A and B are shown apart, each in its own frame.
Chain A
Amino acid sequence: MNICEQCGYYLKISSSDRIELSVDPGTWDPMDDGMVSLDPIEFHSEEEPYKDRIDSYQKKTGLTEAVQTGTGQLNGIPVAIGVMDFQFMGGSMGSVVGEKITRLIEYATNKLLPLILVCASGGARMQEGSLSLMQMAKISSALYDYQSNKKLFYVSILTSPTTGGVTASFGMLGDIIIAEPNAYIAFAGKRVIEQTLNKTVPEGSQAAEYLFHKGLFDPIVPRNLLKGVLSELFQLHAFFPFNKN
């Protein structure tokens, strides 16, 4: 669970561990796991070409990109699920993350599956310029079809940290938005605010608990209860396990 037994602090959790935690054993079926970035705007800084940077993150994490998408069962309920990984370049969203999430939503739309997206991201990926920004629109467009046309059910889970372009698109668009305890959630991060206003940001003013009181999320759910809460929510929305019915 990656929770400190002494103090209850939530350590970051890799996307693979998160999938293991949420999806029933033996049911995970990944999608588009061979998709890699093309370096579409040829972003080379002198120190390190963007492609080399991706290479080194691939070696470090064993992942091809900052999100894993696929289908599986959650307490027997078939779901489409996407999990971001903060260890891969700060979970930043470029063309690949945008395309994989869009395809996942389109798949869930066609198969009438409930959708879970677990967010962990520093925002849009600078190294792909405006194309990263446009992924926000692309994903929101797919969600429009999924949520408004097909009236299906999407739960977004905000883990620490969820910021920038991810917050300002699919992060805050869940039919139900769940935050993890003490997660750092923001549109503009602490440094950005401090730079713009020349004022220090008080500790905890961008923590899930504080923002919860401002009405930004539905429940805050501890990690060990999350799977149970999700399966209850799905059943309340008439998505039932395979074996029953």
Chain B
Amino acid sequence: MADDTGLDFSDQIEALENKYQQALKDLYIRLTPIQRLTIARHPNRPTVLDHILNITEKWVELHGDRAGYDDPAIVTGIGSMNGKSYMFIGQQKGRNTKENIFRNFAMPTPHGYRKALRMMKYADHHGFPIITFVDTPGAFADLKSEELGQGEAIAQNLRTMFGLKVPIVTVVTGEGGSGGALAIACANKLFMLENSAFYVASPEACAAILWKSSQQAPKAAEKLKITAQEHYRLKIADGIIPEPLGGAHSDPVWTSQQIKLAITQAMEELTKMDTEELLRHRMLKFRSLGGFQEGVPVDPQKNAT
């Protein structure tokens, strides 16, 4: 164009592009919790299967709880990374509405958790280290799941995970919705992607309960401290895995490589431990969590009942 018109704007264009990049960076550094949650729930965000396929050389998906159902909301299977075999377990969202309906929006039923439990025991038996990926709005809340013992299924996983004699590493790739997320996340090391979130109640539900309006979700997201950065500060997360500018969906392959790097390093450290040390390590990670104080004299007026 410059040749035709004799006008050369390339300097200005470059300056503007730099400005744009800078503005983008500034924007993404200062994301609010609810904005991060929006990225974590972005329809184009790489799903668990995307990450698994990106980081494994070989991959065999395994199915079914052997008790009536193969829950598509949880995917499980064996894959190899740098020639080593691992058990992969994760909640699977769909890439479009049709897939999401099939995957039940990654909300597992008790069948899903029991399938995960079967695979954890399988991995324990064969000595495969376990890698779990968390990306769920929560365990499925319907009457059928209640009757099948949703609470029991989650509880069994929590307790069983503390007895597995293989290393466990968890990566929160999207959203970690309460007990339904924790049921596959009792790990030796827990990592969170930069824009992922973990919460005890979704900001929408929290706002509805406390302020009777789900419009207050942004406020609730702030109060609930849902971000990766807050979880790292609370020592729930052991590390934050970086995402490309604009979020994981702007470069899924790069994001997967960062995940692989974090997992490989953690596994290297964990495989050096003997079984007893490994189990103790996992127990201690959770044993220290909580905020309380003791020995404070309680106002006698309060005890006067």
Contacts and interface: CB of A to CB of B under 8 A. Distances in A.
A167 B149 CA distance: 10
Nearest to A32: B294
A134 B290 contact: yes
B236 A169 contact: no
Interface in B277-293: 282-283, 286-287, 289-293
A233 to B, nearest CB: 20
Contact of A40 (B139, B186, B226, B290): B290
Contact of B186 (A140, A165, A173, A192): A140
Which size class do A's interface residues fall under? 35 or more
A1 interface: no
Contacts of A130: 198-200, 224-226, 231, 234, 236
Contacts of B297: 34
Contact of B225 (A129, A148, A205, A206): A129
A62 B303 CA distance: 5
Interface string A135-170: 111101101110110000000000000001101111
A41 interface: yes
Task: Report whether over half of chain A's contact residues are helix, strand or loop; otherwise say mixed.
Answer: helix
Contacts, number: 211
Contact of B291 (A34, A39, A62, A211): A39
B179 A165 contact: yes
Contact of A143 (B148, B159, B211): B159
B50 interface: no
Contacts of A169: 154-155, 158, 179
Contacts of B293: 35-36, 38
A195 to B, nearest CB: 8
A111 interface: no
Contacts of A61: 305
B254 interface: no
B193 to A, nearest CB: 16
A131 interface: yes
A32 to B, nearest CB: 7
A132 B292 contact: no
In the A-B complex, the 7 residue pairs with the closest CB atoms:
A40-B291, A62-B305, A95-B290, A188-B141, A167-B151, A140-B158, A187-B151
Given A38-B292, A129-B234, 11 more contacts: A36-B296, A41-B223, A59-B301, A137-B286, A138-B290, A141-B162, A141-B287, A172-B149, A188-B150, A205-B143, A214-B149
Interface of B: 139, 141-143, 145-152, 154-156, 158-160, 162-163, 178-179, 182-183, 185-186, 198-201, 205-206, 208-211, 223-226, 230-231, 234, 236, 282-283, 286-287, 289-299, 301-305
